[in-house]
Structure 1
């Protein structure tokens, strides 16, 4: 097992920077998820860790060694790819045994290790089949098993579930989580799916345009986003954003959306008089319970109702904004009705309209 230290890693393509000063420490046995939209640099960072991309600047340490110039085979890493990368002419057993055979491992030991890993991944009945004879989810399990069998110091996962349907993704997420608990191997996982990040990660590294936007546990990033970008990227359904202008009146901060004014304690936010801001509200924090001194009202006309099972997603029109609210299905308002929701002031987020940075002081 090994820790990973990234010290100001940078990557340039033909003089164009795509990763900027990426610095963080990954503890031994930690599960880190690199999360962000397409083109944010997350796969490039993973490939630099693997040795598949040259590092333009900075230093990368795996364990006690600086590995900038080491080839992939000398970094003691194993990588699981998006497209499985199995040998189609080989059986599941031979695919898993391939790396050990290249290392001249005795066949008796290979047999023991393949059977152990196959048992962990529920692949025992499939060992004599070829990849075309098994499902996509089973193929990805084989790819994970092939990586596991080498007992590396670091696992690298490059969007391994993106080719699978929703049910298989959920199943394999659980498998990967259990495997990490059993093996306690340092793992770095790349995805654009915030649900995968929230369910798998010890810590999430949220990336934007090749830079770190925020690092934290899933709960920290969800509850205390440092920017409008972080708030909008994490959470399903997505956070509501309402453009406002702030003012200071009688010791209170007043946010004016044009359709409503909300009075908030000055102690909660670092807001200047006249500052353009964006109010953020998560749909699950909107309630149809009564309003009290610790909450604000949000009113609008119900435009759309989507039944999700035990809950309904209600879309309401508030001036020029469409706002979403999650409510119990048995308390869902009717389309076309005027409704009033309340939101606790402790669940409100406010961002600077220009920079997007959070203006909340309570964290």
Structure 2
């Protein structure tokens, strides 16, 4: 009877992985197609190997009784998972699905077991798609380097839990985990979600305005693959003092085909030197842009990126994702100028270029 009960418990434990299984096709697609995610499958492989090796040894930490306090964590995590479909945020769904599966370990095998295997699920979290990009975005350090450091720390933590039966208070542990998440998503970063500038939708198809003369560039097959069903336009403009590159995107109905500008640049082989928000005045109106400085073997670029619909604009990809809907037409731009002398001079050239460019103010134009 006891054996049958344990079998049923283990089957129920596997049920906790169902949300993650539903996300697996998307994860597999990203591992195959995204340059920044291509190695993330290794963390899943490490998780599987260690889980098999530790399955029986970790049973010594198992409790005979279920710990129903796990529902206090499982229910909010499941709600986050469901909300990821409403808000169309895959990363939120993957992270919440992994932690939800961990809460089933807590529910079925008790807190001591759950704490013991938590570092193992930490390794599984490292397999989440897009985490390389967001780690680099928040910490300005190589995402894969941070993941390797995280892997080593989780392995050391797991080894300590395996060699000892040390545990911590469940309430304190959950509190510190939530506090860590809130620290990472700092108030400064969350404030960018709220920023709304005036709409700014420049029009470049005239190919001549102010001091600038331009030509349209060919859209490559790699561009089409990267942006899917969005409408792309690429231009090269020149004046007596500057050369300006333009990527203009009319966003399609699949928000997952619109990526942060720095993600696109890294995928294209550029190294990010800095990335920050800047408030600029264009045509007498204030708006927020995302300023990125990059370099490769051919030189350095200063790039301004922003997102706009006919109601407002934002420089934040987070802000764009927060407000995006299939019923609203969105545009995004990457405007690049080589850094020949100083950054200040490059900014002046971008301001002059965008102030001279014609602007759409209505979708009927």
Both structures adopt the same fold (TM-score exceeding 0.5): no
Q: Which has the higher helix share?
A: 2
State the TM bucket, normalised to the shorter chain.
Answer: under 0.3
TM-score norm. by structure 1 comes to 0.27
TM-score norm. by structure 2 comes to 0.27
Higher relative contact order (CA 8 A, sep 6+): 1
Q: Which has the higher strand share?
A: 1
